[in-house]
Structures are given as C-alpha cells and as structure tokens.
Chains A and B, each alone.
Chain A
Amino acid sequence: MARLEIGQIIAVIKEKLPGAVVEEVLDGVDPFVVVKTEQWGETALLCRDDSRLGFDLLSCISGVDYPEREEGPEIEVIYHLDSMVNHHGLTIKVKLPRGDPRVASVEEIWRTADWHERETYDLVGVVFEGHHNLVRILCAEDWVGHPLRKDYEPPDSFHGIKNVIY
C-alpha cells in the first residue's frame, strides 16, 4: 500500500467530506488538522474505511484545557491515528467550548477509544456522546472535579484522609 504525504491525506479528506477541515497547520514540528466538531463522526469513519487512508490504529486520545485563548476558553481533544498498512500517520484535533465540551464518541469505530474516552472524561471533563458507559476510570468513583483542568483545586481531605502538602 502507498504511503501518502500529509498534504495528500488532507486532500483525500477534503474530497470526500468538503467543509469538514476547518484548519490545517503543516509547518510545526508535527502537522495537524482541525475538524468541525459536528462532522467528527463521519471523518473518523472515512479515516478508517477509505483504502487510501487506512487508519486502523488509534494510538492516543488526549484532552488539553486552554482556559485563556483569544477566541474564548476552549478544550481541545487530539486524536493520533496510525496506519499499519500504509505506514503513515495523522493528527486530528477537535476544538470544543470549555463551558460545555461535547463531541461524538468513536468507540464503535476504534474499540480502543472506549477506555481512552473514559479517561479524558475523568481527567478533563469532555463528554463523549454515544459512549455506552462514560464513568470515571482512573480516579476514585466518587471523586469530584476534573483534575487536569488548569483551575483545579485538590480537595483538603477525601473520606477522612487529609491531603497534606508538606
């Protein structure tokens, strides 16, 4: 199978789903594309099923909190895709409003997204619509708050155990 350059990969996405790609940053250390939030589900399906792209491995889902941005406070969710047959990769971002971060879940497309999305919900607070079991996975079940947000204050004590910072 053929290895495509990043420009060609973006061209394939634009050809099949015009209007989905909102922004493309190709001159940084790692190039990435920003996709419209409403069309993320279709884009993900295209990435996996199109034979020229063939992204069958979802390496990582990360959530990053940007409370101070000129466009307004945002949370970004970054998906790193990799293709085992074509040996190329792609980084796709989705930008969500910080007040109500909701995006479509891709756990039916790549099964590894199940736990990754639960982790992003637990630590950053992104709600993945369509996930069958979106509960906390890393922190304790009755933990309050989303720890990786920039304005997170750890609780003073949890079930009677003091959280001392020596």
Chain B
Amino acid sequence: MNEAKIRTEEMLLNMGPQHPSTHGVFRVVVRTDGELVLESESHIGYLHRCFEKCAEGNNYLQVVPYTDRMDYLCAMMNNWGYAAAVEKLAGIEVPERAEYIRVIVAELNRVASHLLAFGTYGLDIGAITPFLYAFRDRERILKIFEKLCGQRLNYSYVRVGGVTFDMTDEILADIEAFCDYFDPKIIDEYDNLLSYNGIFISRTANVGVIPAELAISYGVTGPSLRGSGVQRDLRRDAPYGIYDRLEFDVPVGSGEMGQLGDCWDRYMVRMREMRQSIRLVRQAVKDIPEGPFCDKKAYRAVKPKAGEVYKRVEGARGEVGFYIVSDGTNIPYRVKARAPSFCNISILDKLTSISNVMIADLVAIIGSLDIVLGEVDR
C-alpha cells in the first residue's frame, strides 16, 4: 500500500498521574505522530503538600519532620540542609562527632537512594530482576538506620545542633560489615546485571541527550548534570561539614556508550557515585572522634536573630537549597526549599522538542532524571 495514501492523524495522549512508570504522580500530555513524540507538556502539583505553609506554623525544631517528607528517599540530606541553614542563621556550632555521623548517614542514604533509582530504572525499561537485587541491599541499609534511629524511611535524625541519637560501636561495626559486603562483589554484580546489557544499552544510549549549556540554563544539578560532563559537586566546590577533610572522586559522564549526556551516562554516574560514597563512609568511620553528638542547649530553644540565609547541600538528586527568613521569634517567617527534581524535570518538555523521542524513550528519560515527586511539588 502506498504510504502517501494512508491518512494519519496526530494523537493527544495523556500519561496520567496514575501510571506505573512515572515515579509518582506526574502527568505528561504528549502530542504524538504514531510512536514519535512531537510535543509534550508536563503537569505537576498532584502532591503539593504545602510544606512552606506548614513551616510557617511550627517552630524551627518542628519543621524537621516536614523536610524529611519532601524527598523521602534521601531524607537525611534534606534534614542536613535545613539544619545547616538554621545553624548558619543562628550561629550554632555543631560538635565534630556529629559532623562525622552526618557524613556517614548522608552517604549511606545516597547509596540507598541510588539503589532504588537503579532498581526502578530497570523496572521502567522492563527488567524486573535488578529491582529485587537492589531492594535486598537497600533493606540492609534500612536495617542499620532502624537500629540507629528507629525509622526506615523518614528519619528526622539530623537535627539543629547535631544528631538525635548517638552512634554506638555496634552500629559502627555493622556499617563496616556492610561496606565490606557491598563494595567489592555487589557493585560488579549490578554492572553485570544491567549496565552492560545489550538491550539496556540500546534503550538508553543516545536517548535524551542533554547538552551541558542547556542543562545549566535549566538549573539541572546533581548526577543529571554530571552525566553531561559538567564537573560540579557541592561537596567539593562549596564544602560543608567535614567534606574538605575527606578524599573522594566526582564521577562525570564521558559519552562511553553513545553521545555525551545521554541516559546511560546519567545512570552510570549514579553507579560510580555509589562506590565513592562507600569510600567516604569508610574514611568517616575510621576517623570518627569521641565527644558529644549534639549541642543540647541550642537544640532546646532555637531562636535566631532576624535575618535570612540560603544554604545549599548536595543531595542525591542535586542541589537542595533552603532559604530561611527569620523575624527573631522561634517560628520561621518564611522557609523556601529549592528542590533539585523540580528543576531537573523541567527539561523534559525541551528535550522532546529538540530530539526525536519515542514514547518508550520518554519513560527512559524520566527514569534517568530520577525524580521524586515529593520534592517536585513540596
């Protein structure tokens, strides 16, 4: 049949808020010509839980559980960002043991978050086995966290002035055992399972290429930016805590399997970052000093002087920023959270217009940007 005689029409397809592979309640309306996506429009806000209004109604310590639930996969880093912002504003000194503990839990949380990103990315592409392997190891980390602070997911562990509970020697031994278990064998196992699989490479290489200038203009940060070859990591460029005393590399994408900045690069940056996180945890566990784990006096009554501060930390998905305005009372006047996934996902509409994206590639791109809707919508 002559192709010119077939009448085709464009279709408006709704990848609705409830969808197995949108990583939460995210809606994309796509205009397609067959399988090819011509234009896409993202809609967010289905999980807008009014974090900023809740922060204006509770005092500085009561806001900490709300920061967990923003990016619930790396809750420790959100807590740390908020606590660091309040400490900078109020001039509170954090004891050194608490800084080492913060690094340990934040890096373990980064590993747990990247494991989940790896597992669900496999699920989006169609591979179910990596999901089970990822969750097996994630459960080990969650068991350590549960021993430490009693919660598996929304920890509220890093508080203003330090941390909530002390890290006992038993937990430190558990963490060392986990590092020994995870480091040599397991990461190579994941590379064997998914990273160099032919089908995975053909689904993700050369798909969703983000050029570096476009990424910076759209405010993309974190592994999604490093996948495009940009050397930017807040732990190294604007160090907070004790990161300036620790040694680690910052992996960036190199266009190994396809063009620089494709989905495979972003995925591989996450896998390599897990190795660096384990390296950081080992260093921190070796050098952790004795001492208090919290500035108890500051922890009781946080009342910063009037002023404002913006503090940024490197979360698992990018730059987590907190802009806090204080009016001298113990209730914040305004808390604005800068969420990395909010900026990362805004690039999706541009990508569909500058390159040829199929509907299946749309799923691969959303998975490689690794968004969490809790922080997109706050």
Contact = CB atoms under 8 A, between A and B. Distances in A.
Interface in A133-149: 136-140, 147-148
Given A29-B309, A123-B52, A139-B48, A60 B338 contact: yes
B168 to A, nearest CB: 35
Contacts of A64: 325, 333-334, 336
Given A28-B308, A112-B219, A137 B346 contact: no
Interface residues of A, number: 30
Given A29-B308, A30-B308, A80-B310, A56 B232 contact: no
A37 B44 CA distance: 30
Nearest to B334: A64
Given A28-B307, A29-B88, A78-B323, A84 B44 contact: no
A62 B336 contact: yes
A58 interface: yes
A64 B307 CA distance: 13
A152 B323 CA distance: 21
Given A64-B325, A91-B310, A110-B217, A115 B230 contact: no
B301 interface: no
Contacts of A112: 217-219, 343, 346
A115 B232 contact: no
Given A59-B312, A60-B336, A111-B218, A147 B44 contact: no
B20 to A, nearest CB: 24
Interface in B310-331: 310, 312, 319, 321, 323, 325
B334 A62 contact: yes
B368 to A, nearest CB: 19
B45 A137 contact: yes
A16 interface: no
12 contacts: A30-B308, A58-B219, A59-B312, A59-B338, A60-B336, A60-B338, A78-B323, A84-B232, A87-B238, A91-B310, A111-B214, A140-B45
Interface of B: 44-45, 48, 50, 52-53, 56, 88-89, 214, 216-219, 221, 230, 232, 237-238, 307-310, 312, 319, 321, 323, 325, 333-334, 336, 338, 342-343, 346, 350, 377-378
Interface of A: 28-30, 32, 56-60, 62, 64-65, 78, 80, 84, 87, 91, 110-112, 114-115, 123, 136-140, 147-148
